[in-house]
Amino acid sequence: MVMMMEWSHWRKTAKKVSPYVYIVLAQVIAATYAVMSKLVFTGGTDPVVFNVYQFIAASLFMGPLAFFFERKSRPPLTLSITCWIFFQALLGATLFQTLFSESLSYISSTAQSAIINLFPAFTYVLSVILRQERAELNRVRGVGKLLGTAVSVTGALTLIFWKNGSVRATVVSSLGSVNIGYAIATLGVLSLSTWLVLQGPVMTRYPAELSIVAMMYMFATLQTAAIAAFTSREPSKWKLNFDLELINILFGGILNSGIGIYIFSWCAGKKGPLFTAVFAPLNLLLTAVMEIAIVGDKLSVGSLVGSVMIVGGLYLFLWSKSKEETTQDMEDKDLVIPFLMENP
């Protein structure tokens, strides 16, 4: 009896912490992919063609998983759901990846890294507008979520711009770039935020996460290939090198696009889109750690201050989120108990 109670308690605890473990794992995958991609794209690889190959790898990996694990539980696929998944593929894969790749023609990777950290802010606003999150600015937990998101984003920007004790030089250098690059990158982040906010409702209507991700990348492959047909017509751009480029395509397709996006979708369905988005600055922190460990970059004061702010902001958000969930559970219990007493 005691062992059964302990097992039940362990399962309940594991279920409670699993979203946190999975989302951190997804950020570790994304950070590793970011470091590898820097090495690949400096070698002259065409980003749009790279995305086509990456999406093919994601489709070939996720397709069989969806077939075998969801063949009995997968609901019938309607035209409406198919259109939604096509639209989600356009937002979360094709537009985001294409716009971000194109923005590098106008701005530096440092400036691009700063813009990606608008992801939690955009997601917060969209979640409140679409009523997936409650602002509750008149309560401590609501203010905590807002402040936690803001501090984490500010920490990410600090980590980027404050290098070797010089803030002004880095900022001025970035701001001297063409404004169209910032606009393109910002549209890419907005596209990704919209995808994340809509992914939860799509999964509610069609509860087959693996199938959604698999179909999403099948559509993304076709969409990106259509773009590449106009932007990358030279046969030399389609040549696949069997070196780090191939490794990164497989890593990006299987782990980052396949498993990573599946985790993002699953967490968005379980904990809400803002929970998933607020971990984005952690990606930058992990990337900085990997660059120090692997590439040999030096630890700067800005990296240290920014890292502390990212972790502090993330903790404040998660604390506020836990308070919100506790209150929601108590409200649900208050509704259920009187109902049971009235209907024995």
Q: What is the pLDDT of residue 218?
A: 96
CB contact at 8 A, 51 and 101: yes
Q: How many helices (H) and strands (E) does the chain have?
A: 15, 0
CB 237 within 8 Å of CB 46:
yes
CB atoms within 10 A of CB 190: 20
For the chain, which residues score pLDDT lower than 50? 164-178, 329-344
Task: Please name the residues in contact with 7: beta carbons below 8 A apart, sequence gap of 6 or more.
Answer: none
Contact criterion met (CB below 8 Å) for 303 and 159: yes
Q: Looking at residue 90, what is its pLDDT?
A: 96
The predicted-structure confidence for 51-102, as pLDDT tens digits, reads as follows 899 999 999 999 999 999 998 888 999 999 999 999 999 999 999 988 877 7
- The confidence score (pLDDT) of residue 59 equals 95
Task: Tell me if 54 sits within 8 A of 240, measured CB to CB.
Answer: no
Which two three-digit tokens encode residue 180?
């169209």
The CA angle 25-219-271, to the nearest 5 degrees, is: 35
CA distance 98 to 312: 33
Tokens, residue 248: 């990164």
CA torsion through residues 139, 324, 307, 281, sign:
negative
How high is the pLDDT of residue 72?
85
What pLDDT does residue 124 have?
83
3-state secondary structure of 163: strand
For 190, the 3-state DSSP assignment is helix
Question: What tokens were used for 150?
Answer: 């803001």
Kindly state the tokens that stand for 141. Answer: 């937990």
Find the helix or strand (DSSP H, E) in which 272 lies: none
Q: Which two tokens stand for residue 125?
A: 């606003």
Q: Where are the alpha helices (DSSP H) in 162-208?
A: 168-175, 179-205
Question: Looking at residue 219, what is its pLDDT?
Answer: 97
Sequence-distant (6+) residues with CB within 8 A of 217 are 55, 58, 59, 62, 89, 93, 257, 258
Smallest CA-to-CA distance from 133 within 200, 188, 192 is with 200
